[in-house]
Amino acid sequence: MKVIDLSHAISVDPSDTKDFPIHKALFADDVIIIENLVSLESIGTHSFEFSCFPLRIQEADGSPVRAVAYLEQKKHNKPTRM
């Protein structure tokens, strides 16, 4: 799976675009674009696995997602809540 994350940018395309050429080029190469994630500072520099769960919207090419980071836990620490 190929994914591009834009945690520090609003979009891969300029904000004034009308035809979204970079989005289209990435989609044509089967790249998933994940944009506008928030609260990433709470993850810090820890290793993690990432999952996102989009809404099923008919005839849509995008969706809001529930983004989840699964942080690795050390044996003697309490679980981290996010």
Per residue in 15-64, pLDDT (tens digit) is: 899 999 999 999 899 988 888 888 888 888 878 888 999 999 999 888 89
- Give me the pLDDT at residue 79, please: 60
Q: Does residue 31 sit in the same domain as residue 44? A: no
Count CA atoms closer than 13 A to 36's CA, side-chain side.
8
Which one, of 35, 67, 64, lies nearest residue 51 by Cα? 67
Q: Does residue 47 sit in the same domain as residue 62? A: yes
Instruction: Write down the pTM of the prediction.
Output: 0.64
Residue span of the structural domain in which 10 resides: 1-36
Q: Does residue 45 sit in the same domain as residue 76? A: yes
Question: Is residue 9 pLDDT above 60, yes or no?
Answer: yes
What is the pLDDT confidence band of residue 3, given thresholds at 50, 70 and 90? confident
Q: Does residue 65 sit in the same domain as residue 45? A: yes
Question: Is residue 68 pLDDT above 80, yes or no?
Answer: yes
Question: Is residue 76 pLDDT above 60, yes or no?
Answer: no
What region does 53 belong to: left with phi over 0, alpha with psi -120 to 50, or beta? beta
Q: Does residue 71 sit in the same domain as residue 58? A: yes
